[in-house]
Structure 1
Amino acid sequence: MKQKSKKRRRSKSSQLKKTGMAPGQFLFTGEQKVENTSLQLMTYDKSEIEELSIDTIQEALTKIGNTNKMSWLNVIGLHETDIIKSIVEHFDLHKLSGEDILSVGQRPKLDEYEHYIHIVAKMFRIEDGNIEDEQITILFAEGLLITFQEKEGDVFNTVRERLIEDKGQIRQRHTDYLAYALLDSIVDHYFIAIEHFGNVIEELEVELLENPSDKILPNLHEVRREASYIRRSVFPMRETVNRFEKLEVPYMHKETKLFIRDLYDHTVQVIETVTVLKDAVSGLLDLYMSSVSNRMNNVMKVLTIVSTIFIPLTFIAGVYGMNFTNMPELEYKYGYLITMIAMAILTLLMIFYFKRKKWL
């Protein structure tokens, strides 16, 4: 988690590169995560499907232009801005779309342009026991859908399997349904990430109850930052899905909106769960502070009892430590022994009293 937070800080700082530039500039604000940009193309209709890995963007654009099938072009790697620019120019996309594709630190949103829809979403998945996030951009129009991601690996394998194996209705429907299916897969993996995050919180809670040491405090602050980041990433999805359902464009079909409405319900459920987890993290911090406070109170109680026990003993020792001439006890043969016995009895009586009061 700590390493991932550093990456996020670097991603934010990279936004400074755009300061003062005109809108619509093709400037990648993230970090290069793959060696070369790769292109994956799927073309399909009701009867057949073709899946290709393509070397050049020109080949991909030619392939899309020569087919009447539905086309899904997946672009992996955003650092080669010439490829993004070629796609934007070929499909007559708005320059702001090109800028948004390359600006990887955005909140989820939906923008409606003249002949296509631009969706930005945040994808979460589990890698090596950590929650990894990545911005996914989805552009779709009639018969064409394009996705952009920073690195290999995503949460769309089930969607690809449904397309290849012709499961359900996905091959019989249009690109609006494919866009819904991709968003639905993203939201489904929110639940997986949230479950993993919940397990992390439970482990911290157990550790906090068993051994509330100072070493756990940095982990608690890190988990709180993660909870806040997940909430900020997920919360705008509700508005995005809501706008998706209310789109009034020719390539948005009525039957798809029923599925999007269900997706909206899932999104609300995710937000509610994330809010509960964020409150749970705050509760852990309060529990830690209470544990530390209780431990300190116990230490102070012990020290206070010890001090209380020694107060009368110190008083007796102080009385007989005075250098007055007429102190008959000083010359008594058994004076020292009697004084020590009296001090021991007094100590035992005080300990018995403290135990009876359940202070010890």
Structure 2
Amino acid sequence: MQDHQKSSLHQRDSFLWAYYFEQGSARHIDPKELQNPSQSEGFSWIHIQSDAIDAEQTMADLGLSKSVSDSLLALETRPKTLQIKGGLLIYLRGINTNPDADPEDMVSLRLWLTEKGIVSSRRKGRKLLSVQDVKNDIEQGAKINSVGDLLLEIIERVVVRISEMVDILDEELVAFETSESMDIQARQRLSAVRRQAAAIRRYLAPQRDALDALYRSNQFLTSDQAFTLRELSDRTTRYVEDLDLARERALVLQDELRNRIAEKQGMVLYVLSLVTAIFLPLSFLTGVFGMNVGGLPGIDNPEAFNVLTFSMIALVAVLGGFMIWKRWF
């Protein structure tokens, strides 16, 4: 029965990977080793797919309590840090860089932190490149000496990816601000930038609070690690402020764009009004003298057409001079 359990954990869809860290070095471990942990002073990092059918059983085999398992399996989460007996439960959000995904649809990362290591979980099709970056660093020989180091490495990668997205939004706004005109696609993109800034900020504000709560918990972190965590929290705060500014800049740009469009439309209407003011009297004259009724002056005078034409030209000149004098042009 025990051998069956060992092999079944290896075959489960919920198990993604596991590493064991000892004296700064990491090695990929087989799931069988997780059910027979060594007595050394090392720690592990186990990554699980939370929405797999066998995820709950996998967590039970790893020794996680029911409350912790339910928290790691939760479908909807907001960034926060909770102290639970035996460890810390941390919810984070990272930039969604999956194919055909919107960056503002941020990916949830759940972490269960104890002295023995970290158990992290994510849903199917919701890979977080920040976690993949840490995994790649580990495979390339990065030194991680403690659970606190591993936690900070994950958080820092999440913050770096967020900073990259904030920089992209800032560059797009600068391009909009320096552009003399914007077509329909550019205006639609400006609206998308504003929406992305608002959506990312929605999760960054509570994520900043979650990092502050983690800092105040004063668990599993040395003084140097706590200082690094405080720096990461401050960076997150700056990104929240940058996103607030980005939303305001996008709003100002949209207002300016609407003003430009209204100004152009007003100028067109203004020119049409001037043209109408000039040609309205001419239309009246042509209408009057175009009536096919008896008694019209000049019907028998061969010079009447020339007189009327020169009179209309003179009228246009007078109206034009009046408008110039009034500085309507």
1:194 aligns with 2:169: no
Residue 259 of structure 1, CA deviation: 1.3
Give the alignment partner of residue 121 of structure 2, picking from 134, 148, 159.
148
User: Alpha-carbon deviations, 1:231-268, whole Å to 9, x = none?
Assistant: 1021111111110110044x343332111111121111
The residue type paired with residue 63 of structure 2 is F
User: Alpha-carbon deviations, 1:126-182, whole Å to 9, x = none?
Assistant: 456963631111111002111112344521455446555665xx533x213321221
Distance 1:236 1:124, change over 3 A: same
User: Alpha-carbon deviations, 1:182-240, whole Å to 9, x = none?
Assistant: 11211121110111223344455566x42444x55544433332221111021111111
Secondary structure of residue in 1 paired with 2:106: strand
Structure 2 residue ranges without an equivalent (≥5)? 1-11
1:105 aligns with 2:106: no
In structure 1, the residue matched to 2:19 is: 42
With structure 2 as the length reference, what TM-score do the two structures score?
0.81
The residue type paired with residue 344 of structure 1 is I
The correspondence of residues 1-360 of structure 1 with structure 2, limited to 5 A, is: 36-46=13-23, 48-52=25-29, 54=30, 59=32, 61-62=34-35, 64=37, 68-75=41-48, 77-88=49-60, 90-95=62-67, 97-124=68-95, 126=97, 131=103, 133-150=106-123, 151-152=126-127, 154-160=129-135, 163=138, 171-172=144-145, 174-204=146-176, 209-213=180-184, 216-249=186-219, 251-320=220-289, 328-351=297-320, 354=323, 359-360=328-329
Secondary structure of residue in 2 paired with 1:171: coil
Kept in 2, the 8 Å contact 1:212–1:291? The answer is no
Distance 1:349 1:304, change over 3 A: same
Give the aligned CA root-mean-square deviation in angstroms.
3.2
Sequence identity, in percent? 16
Residue 331 of structure 1, CA deviation: 3.6
- C-alpha separation in 2, matches of 1:99 and 1:330: 100
- C-alpha separation in 2, matches of 1:254 and 1:355: 77
The residue type paired with residue 206 of structure 2 is P
With structure 1 as the length reference, what TM-score do the two structures score?
0.75
Kept in 2, the 8 Å contact 1:194–1:274? The answer is yes
Kept in 1, the 8 Å contact 2:19–2:45? The answer is yes
- C-alpha separation in 1, matches of 2:40 and 2:55: 21
Secondary structure of residue in 2 paired with 1:79: coil
Distance 1:38 1:288, change over 3 A: farther
User: Alpha-carbon deviations, 1:31-53, whole Å to 9, x = none?
Assistant: xxxx944421111122532124x
Kept in 1, the 8 Å contact 2:20–2:42? The answer is yes
Kept in 1, the 8 Å contact 2:46–2:118? The answer is yes
Distance 1:246 1:342, change over 3 A: same
Secondary structure of residue in 2 paired with 1:333: coil
Structure 1 residue ranges without an equivalent (≥5)? 1-34
Distance 1:347 1:295, change over 3 A: same
Kept in 2, the 8 Å contact 1:88–1:98? The answer is yes
The residue type paired with residue 284 of structure 2 is F
Distance 1:211 1:258, change over 3 A: closer
Distance 1:298 1:105, change over 3 A: farther
The residue type paired with residue 270 of structure 2 is K
- C-alpha separation in 2, matches of 1:332 and 1:134: 89
Kept in 2, the 8 Å contact 1:41–1:60? The answer is no
Distance 1:47 1:189, change over 3 A: closer
Kept in 2, the 8 Å contact 1:125–1:189? The answer is no
